[in-house]
Structure 1
Amino acid sequence: MEISIDNKDLDDDGRIKRTGTLMTASAHIFTTVIGSGVLSLAWVVAQLGWIAGPVVLILFAVITWFTSVLLADCYRSPDPVTGKRNYTYMDAVKANLGGIMIQLCGLAQYGSFIGATIGYTITASISMAAVQMSNCFHKNGHHAKCDASHYPFMIIFACIQIILSQIPNFHKLSWLSIIAAIMSFSYSLIGIGLSVAKVAEKNHNVRTSLRGVEVGLDVTATEKMWRVFQAIGDTAFAYTFAPVLVEIQDTLKSNPPENEVMKKASFIGVLITSMFYVLCGCIGYAAFGNDAPGNFLTGFGFYEPFWLIDFSNACIVVHLVGAYQVFCQIFFAFVEKWCRKQWPNNGFIGKERAVSVPLYGKYYINSFRLVWRTMYVILMTVIAMIFPFFNDFMGLIGAASYWPLCVFFPIEMYIAQSRIPKFSFRWALLQILSWACLSVSIVAAVGSVQGLAADVKTYKPFKTQ
């Protein structure tokens, strides 16, 4: 069936006119950034201390904002305002760098998406189990035996994601991102409020220090080193949104120029995120001291006010439902585009079937999309069940994706697009920043791998509590 579309409804590339705005782009960024990473920041500051903790949080914020500005100019090539659109991060790398860089970018980007969906499944199940335990303690008393296995909740989360994964593409996610962003602000504010209340308690007495957890008292020297490395990885993960920046930019209207709007959205996102992160990290550390838990919302116990604990954990789950889709929809689109290119005449892959849905109208079902997206969610859930290690997993994802996607590729594309002379002063400064971030990523990855190795030694897969 042919559908007539007026030229005024099309963008300069012949596609349906984009409708994204500063608000929707900011919502996508908040949904991506203020995620499960915020829950570990009290633990991060506990490992680094009162001086290094806030400094590391602010330093990562500045670097993230700077490189996001560089990346925003790479959406169009060769000119950042009038050039040809690059629909994905890989397209931008292809247009500016080419060669093996395209494959390396795809490996880093889609690897980070896969890791994030596993991490979000783990985090959502922890929060759902926390709601069950909170209600159990409230009903049966604080001395009752209230254990909760995370596995049933991982399955519930997977069922929700199987349904939402049938949303056709990333451009249809604005409403979900806005809801998820509201949820992320809600549980962050609740965490900050509960931390302030805990600090204000009359008998509040916790150990904090300028250097964080103390060698000989809290940990050994070796454990301190590994924890510091892992904390840096957690911080990197908490700020990462570069893997989806180009895809978010591709949802924006062309007037005003997309790069201008994206730079404003990035500034707003990083600024507000940094404020929340410093507050969550520092006030959370003040509340729990050197014994700060990996997920600071679980550190408040499961008692009173039980309804507030329930609400905050419910907000986390709703937020992660949206964040999961922001990441996996881009990966879905990549795989489906590749399959259509490889088998252009395959009906199973390319054919769309119209189905009437009450209160919605016609919805087009693609058999390949239905089967493969369902299998992807199931596989990620099984992996999450096998390796449910929150802190170490977040640190490893951050370490593996932060340098290549947030620093290396934006800097190299900016150098290529701006034709910055090799060995010039500006080139040297950008390379120093890149190499410094690479060093940080390496030590963070080592710390996270060590933590995962230690967890695996004592862990038995699929063992219920």
Structure 2
Amino acid sequence: MRDISLNIEAENQESSKFDDDGQVKRTGTMFTATAHIITAVIGSGVLSLAWAIAQLGWIAGPIALLAFAVITWFTSILLADCYRSTDGTRNYTYIEVVRSHLGGLKFQLCGIAQHSNLVGSCIGYSITASISMVAMGRSYCFHKYGHEAGCHRSNNPYIMSFGAMQLVLSQIPNFHKLTMLSIVAAVMSFAYSSIGIGLSIGKIAEGGQIESGLTGVPIGKDMSSTDKMWNTYNALGNIAFAYAFSNVLVEIQDTVKSGASENRTMKNATLAGISISTIFYMLCGVLGYAAFGNDAPGNFLTGFGFYEPFWLVGLANLFIVIHLVGAYQVYCQPTFAFVEELGRKKWPESKFVTREYSIYGRFDLNLFRLVWRSSFVILTTVVAMLFPFFNDFMGLLGAASFWPLTVYFPIEMYIARAKIPRFSFTWIWMQILSGICLVISLLAAAGAIQGLIKSLGTFKPFHSVS
């Protein structure tokens, strides 16, 4: 009897190490989930908000920011409810949630939309990190040689150095190992946003003639009505990109520890993450526009005017780079996991795909993971060198991800899960919301594509200079 009780006790201790799906017990909390969300939300998108508000003006700019925040929060809550299937089983990724609740063609379309956006975000982060690296050198150059000095540098070596860092970090096995990286990245996002806010306040305090308006940049000799229209659409895409994190929300929720409050924890983390992000967005966008007016640069930390104190400008851009190092990993991990799972299913007997090699007893190395992830990083690095257009690229990514991933799929899954009748009041207003967001996304995409075409007309590949 004593042996039986010991065996039962050992089995209970062993089972306590695993969750209901047999995986190692999740330990995520509201704090760690909020850190993941802030890392995903506050990224390179914050840098273009002053420019976006300059295109929209004092009225439409802040309203657009708040509207995107509320819509993202609402649909994120719907998505959090869909993490588990109706039978209680877990869905580990965004795609699995769609397959569980919608299936068929919608599942395939979601896979294309999600992974295209994740790859695009990694490319965008490579571009932004290189611009910030260059800005660090330029701020010191301006300080040493004066503001009249060109201090121009090629972006390509910095894009490659960022890619080299990601080659190493991309061997982190999965999302659950990214907690510390996300916390550091979240702290960095607060730091550089705060510095940007402080620099904006300092510039406002200096006084001077700053032109701004209720409708943003006015139509005139330097801005035709057509250009104003395209810039307005592009600005909406930039704001949409600033809130693009729904495509990793499920992966973040999969790190939260099990229990009756699992769903509530994720909803609270979503509310906290989006609220904190929106406060910083509003401060950066509004104060940035107040500081620069209609001449607000595309990237308000690397544009003209922020030359002194040079060490603070350099520090802010260093924080951006550190943050984007973590954000890149948050966004690429779902794509890594998707391809590796396909590989294991297709070649279950291949040692190249499945075998893990222990390095000094501390690190696990898998050859397929090494080759595939390294190829991914190299590809995103090369594309970033080919198309280093910050605002247009951010606008296109925002437009491409906002409606399908942030709005359409969460609404459709919630309707299917809750069995909301067609043409009921709830169904109708949800469809109206989805339709409005679709129109906004299409307009934003048109503005971004027009900007990219315009930029490509004068650009030479691999010759980007900041």
Aligned twin of 1:94: 99
- Residue 134 (structure 2) pairs with residue 129 (structure 1): yes
TM-fit CA distance, 1:98: 0.7
Say whether 1:194 aligns with 2:229. Answer: no
Cα distance in 2 for partners of 1:227, 1:364 equals 48
Match of 1:392 in 2: 392
TM-superposed deviation, 1:257: 2.8
Tell whether 2:461 aligns with 1:461: yes
Deviations 1:394-446 (A, max 9, x none): 00001001101100000000000000001101100100000110010000001
Q: Helix, strand or coil: the match of 2:193?
A: helix
Percent identity, aligned pairs only, is: 61
The equivalent residue for 2:28 is 20
Q: Residue 114 of structure 1 aligns with which residue?
A: 119
**Conserved? CA contact 2:233–2:447, under 8 Å:** yes
Contact 2:388/2:464, CA 8 A, preserved across alignment = no
Quick one: which of 214, 220, 224 aligns to 2:218? 214
Q: Distance in 2 between matches of 1:266 and 1:140?
A: 46
Give the TM-score of the pair, scaled to structure 2.
0.96
Question: Where does structure 1 lack aligned partners over 5 or more consecutive residues?
Answer: none
Verify the 8 A CA contact 1:118 1:383 in the aligned structure 2: yes
Instruction: Work out the CA distance in 2 between the residues paired with 1:127 and 1:170.
Output: 26
Structure 1 segment 233-252 matched on structure 2, within 5 A? 233-252=237-256
Structure 2 residue 204 is the aligned partner of structure 1 residue 182: no
2:68 to 55, 60, 72: 60
Which whole-Å deviations, capped at 9, do the CAs of 1:132-180 have from their partners, x for residues lacking one? 1112222333333411111000010000000000001011000000000
Kindly report the root-mean-square deviation, in angstroms, between the aligned alpha carbons of the 2 structures: 1.2
One-letter identity of the residue aligned with 1:450: Q
Question: In the TM superposition, what are the counterparts of 1:35-434 in structure 2 within 5 Å?
Answer: 35-78=43-86, 83-202=88-207, 204-301=208-305, 303-356=307-360, 361-434=361-434
Any conservation in 2 of the 1:133–1:302 contact (CA below 8 Å)? no
Q: In 2, distance between residues paired with 1:433 and 1:141? A: 52
In the TM superposition, residue 302 of structure 1 has moved relative to its aligned partner by 5.6
- Could you tell me which runs of 5 or more consecutive residues in structure 2 were left unpaired when the two chains were aligned: 1-10
* 2:57–2:213 contact (8 Å) kept in structure 1: yes
Inter-partner Cα distance in structure 2 for 1:427 and 1:38:
33
Q: In structure 2, the residue corresponding to 1:299 is in which secondary structure?
A: coil
What is the DSSP-based 3-state SS (H/G/I as helix, E as strand, rest coil) of the residue aligned with 2:104?
coil
- For residue 236 of structure 1, report the CA deviation from its aligned partner: 0.5
Distance 2:202 2:369 in 1: 48
Maintained 8 Å contact 1:137/1:302: no
- The answer to whether the 8 Å contact 2:297/2:304 transfers is no
Q: Could you tell me which amino acid in structure 2 is paired with residue 268 of structure 1?
A: A
Deviation at 1:370, TM superposition (A): 0.7
Task: Out of 134-143 and 105-114, give the one that drifted further.
Answer: 134-143
The SS at the match of 2:359 is strand
SS, match of residue 303 in structure 2:
helix
Contact 1:130-1:302 within 8 A present in 2 as well: no
Equivalent residue number for residue 443 of structure 1: 443
Which digits, 9 at most, give the CA deviation of each residue in 1:51-83, with x for residues without a partner? 00000000000000000010000001116xxx1
Q: Which residue of 1 aligns with 2:7?
A: none
SS of 1:219 mapped into structure 2: coil
